[in-house]
Structure 1
Amino acid sequence: MIRIDAATATHQIDRRIYGQFAEHLGRCVYEGLWVGEDSPIAHHNGIRTDVIAALRHIKVPLVRWPGGCFADEYHWLKGVGDDRQPMVNTHWGGVVEPNTFGTHEYFELLNQLDAEAYINGNVGSGTVAEMHDWIEYMTLDSTAPMAELRKRHGREQPWKVEFFGVGNESWGCGGNMLPLHYANQYRQYQTYVRKYGAEPIAKIACGANSDDYEWTDVLMARAADHMDGLSLHYYTLPTGEWSVKGAATGFDDHAWHETLRQTRRMDELITRHSGIMDRYDPAKRVSLIVDEWGTWYDVEEGTNPGFLYQQNTQRDALVAAINLNIFHRHGDRVRMANIAQMVNVLQAMILTDGAAMVTTPTYHVFDLYTDHQDATFIPTARGALGADGELTVSGKDGAITLSAANTSLTTEIEAEFEFTEPVDEVLRAQLLAPAAPGDHNTFETPDAVALTDLTVSVDGRRVSFTLPPHAVATVRVRPRG
């Protein structure tokens, strides 16, 4: 029996932990989000209405854009106005990037999603002046040159930019810098991310690749006073090796367990990076932002290797649940995360093919977890559901939400909870439990993996349910009082 006491709640689970990432990569932006004003696919101002409706349903809080590696070769002036200037996307397939989706289109996307902005600036191949001008173009309400240019392009009022990333993966595709060099670059560039609006822009420094703890130490030592957040990137590879990642589908039991073992490394990474940050920032003012995470498999056969298109199975649903639970536990430091990526790339929420669209098992986990956004975290004993169980409990608006995952391939979990007050109402009880762990949705069978109702037993202060193998569930109840 797991006892739940809302009075023991510790910290808030920031809704931005459910952030998304849309890079100019493969078919994420073009075809996935943007189809243009002349497309026969249903759209509003060039953006797919079916995709927007699906993303609004899971309450997407913010979108990171334009990259990723693409950010450090992106020159924003080529993507505004009537005369867009194409470029070659050297990182992702060598295709021509038309720049028809730029700053104005991004903010239109945010407006349709009712989401916040998280923009990554170009440090790797850009200049301080270019970054300064972009901030002015987006956020300044005056007669200065860049603000006037924005108005000529059809936007009279400035936009609100909540978060701005100063470079991306500066240790790799963003410039192959050493940590001290980047720290000095960051200090210089962030100076010109000016506050023009009523609220300051939160400045995000490029953080470490996986377990590069030296990077975090140097950045915190040299630049912590100039940042609001420090990023962390970690991808789940079934083999733990980039050279042979493995397929998204058709995996065996060993690949299932290895994938989940690799994804659980996120807890150690956050713990150790947070420990370093605590030495320089004991008040936890600087957020740890996991702005790239998720599974990375071999691309689907017959697709462009540079487009990173992969299927999404119930294994990915468990990966999502495990990571979200980890972020919740560390919510006193982790205040944003951005799964890679939103549409048609890596561990996507949505896959599209022309006018067709399907949601993935990962999407359904984000749906199950929506009530944890901005809720207070209620701690439970680690392993409370046994060795195969994963659990998050949170409270909001007088209700308590339990989200549980079973990583076993064969064994059910009998989940039993006891509250401090009798339970008056079950507000939600849903389950994601396909027949096989490799089940996934296709354009021919879009609902092969879908949410179903979960049977819940309520007896006074006690709530219980059975969690099948390789399943994820959410139960939301309202206790008396």
Structure 2
Amino acid sequence: MTIHIDPKAGKGTISPLLHGQFIEFLGECIDEGLWVGTDSAIPNTDGIRTAALEALKRLAPPLLRWPGGCYADTYHWEDGIGPRDQRPTTYNENFGTFELDNHGFGTDEYLHLCETLGAQPWMNVNMLSGSVREMHDWMEYCNRAEPTDLARRRAANGHSEPYGVRYWGLGNEPWCGGGNMTPSSYMDLYRLYASAMPSFTHSNDEPSMMYPIACGPDGNKRVERVEWTRQLFQELASFRQPPISAYDLHFYNWNIEHPEDSSTQFDQAGWTRVVEGCLELEDIIGEQWGLMQAGLAAMPYPEAAKDPRLESVDLVIGEWGNWHLDAFEVRPALRQQVTMRDAVTTALTLDILQRSCDKVSMACNAQTINVLNSLILTDGDATILTPNYDVFMMYQGHQGAQALGLDRQDSQTGVYSFASLKDGRILVDLTNADMTQAVDQSLTLPVDARVEDFHCLTSNDPHQFNDKADPNAVRARQVGLDASTGRKFTVHLEPASVNTLTLSLV
């Protein structure tokens, strides 16, 4: 019943980009959620809901992905720039949204938000209904320093300096809504788009600032995901390789086969099913990483000595989170509540990503506001922070830290754990995924340490959630512990709880 933590057992640096977020024009994620417009009676800052903006500032997401998702493959970026009263009105059918789209929140609004939050932008290109020229012009608009027509257009819209957008996803989920493509047909298109990307350099010797991201598989399809990756890398190995920096895997923790189970109503079996479901991601990461390395090993050696051989591609996860059946049945589309079941799986998923920091470079929770695994819900003029928001806040200290080698779960207590080291402090995640039973968990170290802080996120009832009537029903709280120094510590973990313990090395 003991977790042993060795500060010298480092296994890699946790990229802050593993704590990324995702916003899409889906349901009320952006329109009426994040974006209310400058003429709204809801308090706003240049059209962005002020309460949501302030919450995001505290969260400080290192990465923010936009405009989709499925929406990206119907989005024409020029619809969303320039004076808002001159932007076209279109219709958004994206994943059951079925709403008019006035394009009030576009490229400049999004990139200004990223600048405000200190977040790196990750933008997805329309590869289904767009064109290579449209992609090229969008990149020029965002990044060109020289006074081209597109750069002057950006300046006229309020941003004279280039935005410096580095991360570009080429298409989205082409195996389904992005075109029902095959690895071969997608790679044919990818080669065109990636080859047309401007480099924004001033000599052939300078490396491009651009980071093109290819579409990986549907992580929920056990057979298809293997074949997609194997075949895509085979196609990539054929003749010369286009620019490729990363490969984007998507994985949702589906909970859609049990009509009696909803985001807020579930029994013990439903609790266990969803908690165990999120753990599959760790196996998928290992599987996909292995397939990628095998594919890279088969890359041809170029005939010309000066031509580089493709030897590495980063694995990224553009979308992850819980998806419950009732999200399909509501308006606005894909809105679902967040209970401790979701908070526990969010914590466990972040632990998987952090533990896999030697394999995964970036990841985005889907989605930040009002959709699926949300951190923020809005209801009219109310802005509600879900328990997932607390999990991300509790985990902020892992960003940039050294991941420490721990077993995922204590075989006797069932407690899931993760730990990292930064600046002489160890941050330990302790998740009691038992729905009803509390547990006392012991921890040991080979050196002396002192307790600095202990936070617990739990609720009186695991079905409880935050809403307009009770926005703080489920909140993380600081728990008083004896600030003793030693090599062994015991902490009490409430049932269905996410906990973080900070130890300072002496």
So what's the TM-score if we normalise by structure 2?
A: 0.90
TM-aligned CA distance change 1:427 to 1:162, over 3 Å: farther
* Structure 1 range deviating more: 153-162 or 12-21: 153-162
- Quick one: distance in 2 between partners of 1:280 and 1:387? 40
Cα pair 1:117 1:160 within 8 Å, conserved:
no
TM-aligned CA distance change 1:385 to 1:33, over 3 Å: farther
Q: Could you say what secondary structure the match of 1:331 adopts?
A: coil
Q: Could you say what secondary structure the match of 1:185 adopts?
A: helix
Match of 2:307 in 1: none
State which of 118, 123, 135 in structure 1 corresponds to 2:122: 118
CA RMSD of aligned residues (A): 2.0
Cα pair 2:255 2:274 within 8 Å, conserved:
yes
Match of 1:297 in 2: 324
How far the C-alpha of 1:301 sits from its partner, in A, is 9.9
Match of 2:198 in 1: 194
TM-aligned CA distance change 1:29 to 1:416, over 3 Å: same
How far the C-alpha of 1:468 sits from its partner, in A, is 1.4
Match of 1:88 in 2: 91
How far the C-alpha of 1:455 sits from its partner, in A, is 4.0
- Quick one: distance in 2 between partners of 1:122 and 1:260? 34
How far the C-alpha of 1:427 sits from its partner, in A, is 3.1
1:448 aligns with 2:449: no
For structure 2, the residue ranges without an aligned partner over 5 or more in a row are 202-206, 298-309
How far the C-alpha of 1:300 sits from its partner, in A, is 6.2
What percentage of residue pairs aligned between the two structures are identical? 34
Cα pair 2:454 2:500 within 8 Å, conserved:
yes
Match of 2:377 in 1: 351
* Structure 1 range deviating more: 113-122 or 151-160: 151-160
Match of 1:184 in 2: 188
Cα pair 1:245 1:297 within 8 Å, conserved:
no
- Quick one: distance in 2 between partners of 1:455 and 1:67? 43
TM-aligned CA distance change 1:213 to 1:34, over 3 Å: same
TM-aligned CA distance change 1:120 to 1:4, over 3 Å: same
State which of 235, 238, 256 in structure 1 corresponds to 2:252: 235
Match of 2:301 in 1: none
State which of 254, 270, 284 in structure 2 corresponds to 1:255: 270
TM-aligned CA distance change 1:63 to 1:437, over 3 Å: same
Match of 1:438 in 2: 463
TM-aligned CA distance change 1:245 to 1:461, over 3 Å: same
State which of 191, 205, 218 in structure 1 corresponds to 2:231: 218
- Quick one: distance in 2 between partners of 1:385 and 1:352? 40
TM-aligned CA distance change 1:456 to 1:384, over 3 Å: farther
Match of 1:170 in 2: 174
Give the aligned residue type for 1:259.
V
Cα pair 1:298 1:310 within 8 Å, conserved:
no
- Quick one: distance in 2 between partners of 1:188 and 1:408? 50
How far the C-alpha of 1:200 sits from its partner, in A, is 0.8
1:373 aligns with 2:399: yes
Cα pair 1:13 1:373 within 8 Å, conserved:
yes
TM-aligned CA distance change 1:52 to 1:385, over 3 Å: farther
TM-aligned CA distance change 1:478 to 1:285, over 3 Å: farther
Residues 243-287 of structure 1 show CA distances to partners (whole Å, capped at 9, x for unaligned) of 959411111111111111221111121111111012134798322
Q: Could you say what secondary structure the match of 1:422 adopts?
A: strand
Match of 1:460 in 2: 486
Cα pair 1:231 1:288 within 8 Å, conserved:
yes
* Structure 1 range deviating more: 120-129 or 150-159: 150-159
- Quick one: distance in 1 between partners of 2:489 and 2:8? 18
- Quick one: distance in 2 between partners of 1:252 and 1:470? 13
Match of 2:4 in 1: 3
**Corresponding residue pairs, total:** 476
TM-aligned CA distance change 1:140 to 1:236, over 3 Å: same
Q: Could you say what secondary structure the match of 1:101 adopts?
A: coil
- Quick one: distance in 2 between partners of 1:459 and 1:155? 53
Q: How does 1:22-421 map to 2 (within 5 A)?
A: 22-82=23-83, 83-91=86-94, 92-196=96-200, 200-210=209-219, 211=222, 212-223=225-236, 226-239=243-256, 241=257, 246-281=261-296, 285-299=312-326, 303-304=330-331, 307-384=333-410, 386=412, 388-421=414-447
So what's the TM-score if we normalise by structure 1?
A: 0.94
For structure 1, the residue ranges without an aligned partner over 5 or more in a row are none
Cα pair 1:229 1:287 within 8 Å, conserved:
yes
How far the C-alpha of 1:4 sits from its partner, in A, is 1.5
